[in-house]
Amino acid sequence: FTARSLLSASSFQNALERMTRSPQASGFNYTLCDLASKDVVNVEVVGDQHNIHPVETALFHTNHYVYLDGINQLISPCSQARYNRGIELLKTSPTPSTENVKKILLDEQDPNHPIRRSTSDPAGTATLATLIYDVNQERLEIVNPANPEEKPLRAIQQMAQS
């Protein structure tokens, strides 16, 4: 219900308050952007714990807690491998750009645990969509993971500010 309540948030601060309200019934990871200030934070929440991590340039996150300490969690080999590969690519990538971020999100170097998983993925899972947010340009690009070289499925420029 937290994600649904975010649609009613009146401000960046109000959205943070909604995300970090205790207790939470389950755990989630959110990335929140304030288009006015260009602030970006990654918020991990579970139960009565949360962590707000400011994002300076780029962030790579998979299906496990990265910043919350003391959480008893099982990290799948696939999530760990994709996370490690994403961090490696971020460290070796030049300044983040839409094209560099797209290369990371569509990476398939590891045949067993690629970042972009196709329908032939050994685990039987697939990437349904890849969304790239450029906060500075106020642009959201939706990439077709089945054919990433084609024109974006949708690009939204000048996102609404409230």
> How much is the average pLDDT of 70-93?
91
Predicted TM-score (pTM) of this structure: 0.82
Distances (CA, A) of 63 to 16, 66, 80, 119: 21, 9, 9, 19
pLDDT at 133 over 70: yes
pLDDT at 64 over 50: yes
Cβ(119)–Cβ(126) below 8 Å: yes
DSSP one-letter code for 152: P
How far apart CA 161 and CA 133 sit, in angstroms, is 15
pLDDT at 143 over 90: no
How far apart CA 12 and CA 39 sit, in angstroms, is 9
pLDDT tens readout for residues 31-59: 999 989 999 999 999 988 999 999 988 88
How far apart CA 41 and CA 20 sit, in angstroms, is 13
pLDDT at 23: 82
Q: Provide the angle, in degrees to the nearest 10, between the axes of the packed helices 77-92 and 98-105.
A: 150
pLDDT at 68 over 70: yes
Judged by phi (left if over 0) then psi (alpha if -120 to 50, else beta), residue 38 lies in: left
Q: Which residue has the higher pLDDT, 85 or 131?
A: 85
Residue whose token pair is 């939470």: 24
pLDDT at 151 over 70: no
User: For all residues of the chain together, what is the average pLDDT?
Assistant: 84
